[in-house]
């Protein structure tokens, strides 16, 4: 809980990886991942009304990505670019314009963070964004890595706790990720913290 947040044009909502393969029925589903989509849509409306920016990141893997089990990685093939599994959820209401950031696009390089190997930092600086509100999947992988990179780059970071969900491969992974983000200076918020 970090008090009340007033959104302005120097803020951005980052929606992390709300893709078919990460939702129930997908290749690498986060349990109940679909439950946060309506909450994210409410945040989208709030940020749009405040003239703030909306950004959506996505895994955009080549077919033989290093993270896949048959290449020695930990995951089943997922979010292969230009497949149905890589598409954003049809329930996600992305406005126009939304800045789309594709990550983990190189065959031999894993990238959990939306900043890793992308132009996200440049885009945020161009838009004069000072504060990033992070939502999406999964708390203990792409969300935590994105948040830590944003903090390192000097952005203020707020984790939207009611709009993120994790995998918890090892029990406690999500709690540890949240603590790590908090320890590095991220704040946390929920819908009631926005007037």
pLDDT digits (tens, 9 = 90+) for 39-96: 999 999 999 999 999 999 999 999 999 999 999 999 999 999 999 999 999 999 999 9
pLDDT at 195: 86
CB 146 within 8 A of CB 153: no
What 3-state class would DSSP assign to 58? strand
pLDDT at 2: 55
Separation CA 39–CA 167 (nearest Å): 18
**pLDDT score of 3 more than 80:** no
pTM of the model: 0.96
**What confidence category does residue 30 fall into, taking pLDDT thresholds of 50, 70 and 90?**
very high
User: Among 62, 65, 64, which residue's Cα sits nearest to residue 82?
Assistant: 62
> How do residues 147-166 score in pLDDT, each as one tens digit?
999 999 999 999 999 999 99
CB 135 within 8 A of CB 36: yes
Q: Which fold has domain 11-193?
A: Rossmann fold (3.40.50)
Give me the chain's average pLDDT, please: 96
User: Among 45, 33, 17, 14, which residue's Cα sits nearest to residue 191?
Assistant: 45
Active site residues: 17, 103, 142
What 3-state class would DSSP assign to 157? strand
Read off the pLDDT of each residue in 101-123 and give the average, rounded to a whole number. 97
Give the containing element (helix H, strand E) for 163: strand 156-165
């Amino acid at each position: 809980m970090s008090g009340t947040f007033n959104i302005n044009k120097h803020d951005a909502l980052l929606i992390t990886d709300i893709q078919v393969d990460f939702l129930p029925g997908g290749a690498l589903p986060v349990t109940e991942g679909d439950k946060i989509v309506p909450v994210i849509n409410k945040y989208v409306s709030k940020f749009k009304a405040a003239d703030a920016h909306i950004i959506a990141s996505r895994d955009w893997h080549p077919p033989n990505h290093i993270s896949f089990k048959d290449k020695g990685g930990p995951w089943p093939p997922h979010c292969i670019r230009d497949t149905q599994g890589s598409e954003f959820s049809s329930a996600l209401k992305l406005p126009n314009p939304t800045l789309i950031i594709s990550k983990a696009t190189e065959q031999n390089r894993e990238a959990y963070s939306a900043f890793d190997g992308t132009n996200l930092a440049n885009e945020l600086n161009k838009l004069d964004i000072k504060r990033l509100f992070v939502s999406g999947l999964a708390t203990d992988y792409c969300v935590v890595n994105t948040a830590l990179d944003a903090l390192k780059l000097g952005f203020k970071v707020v984790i939207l706790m009611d709009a993120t969900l994790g995998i918890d491969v090892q029990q406690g992974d999500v709690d540890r990720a949240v603590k790590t983000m908090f320890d590095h200076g991220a704040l946390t918020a929920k819908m009631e913290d926005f007037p």
